[in-house]
Amino acid sequence: MARGDHLSVRRGWYTHHAIDLGDGYVVQYGRGVSDGVNATVQVSSYETFAKGRPMEVVASPASYEAHEIALRALSCLGEQDYHILWNNCEHFVNWCRSGNRQSQQADRFMQTASEVVTKVAVGLVATGAARLALKASSRLSTKAAGRVATTPWLIAADAAQLIAESTASALGREQNAAKRTGQAVGAGTSAGIGALTAGPVGAALAVGLWAVGEAVGTALSSRERG
């Protein structure tokens, strides 16, 4: 192990990453959710970083010399802008070494989540609930077309809403009750996506956009029926 190296250590279900300073210390996006505090870019000893587990050197791409990599890492000391999907410890280390914020484990997580959603959708196709959701797809398109600030994330929330509403209908719930169930899922999904993206402000904005889309969709649907 040497100055500027990309170090990693397995910590149960995830891998933690750091930049080696070459003197028994590393720069890491340390602590965080597992310790109940804000994750912070900090200098830590090998022992603190490894927590009794074996360290490995990762052969990740490097666009800078070793001393530049270490300086880039040290320039971020005190930063508290951690995000598990967009700016985690692996993103940080790869930025220090190559200038690119990349995280294979975050990418794998997103891919797995996508595959799970796809499998659930395929499973629902085998039920009457999914067929009802497919019949409602024209409503989704209408609402999406009417939303001024639509995004793929919010369209996903609309899809979740329609599937929940259609599932409730298939289970025998009265139409208005099924609609309220779908709306609760749609609003909740929008809030969750917004919170992951930009915290409480993002959650409020996402729910606001969802509500606008809901109102516009209802108006357009009424016009089509008229």
Binned at pLDDT 50, 70 and 90, residue 7 comes out as: very high
Phi, psi of 79 (to 5 degrees): -60, 140
Q: What is the pLDDT at residue 217?
A: 61
Model pTM above 0.85: no
What is the longest distance spanned by two Cα atoms in the chain? 75
Q: What is the pLDDT at residue 132?
A: 47
Q: What is the pLDDT at residue 78?
A: 93
147 CB burial (10 A radius; 0-12, 13-18, 19+):
buried
Kindly report, residue by residue over 165-208, the tens digit of the pLDDT: 777 777 777 877 878 887 888 778 777 777 776 677 667 776 77
15 CB burial (10 A radius; 0-12, 13-18, 19+):
middle
Asked if the model's pLDDT at residue 95 lies above 70, the reply is: yes
Q: What is the pLDDT at residue 144?
A: 47
All domains in the chain, ordered by first residue: 6-103 (3.90.1720.10), 127-225 (no CATH)
Could you give the angle at the alpha carbon of 88 between the alpha carbons of 52 and 109, nearest 5°?
A: 95
Q: Which two tokens stand for residue 223?
A: 């016009």
Asked if the model's pLDDT at residue 112 lies above 80, the reply is: no
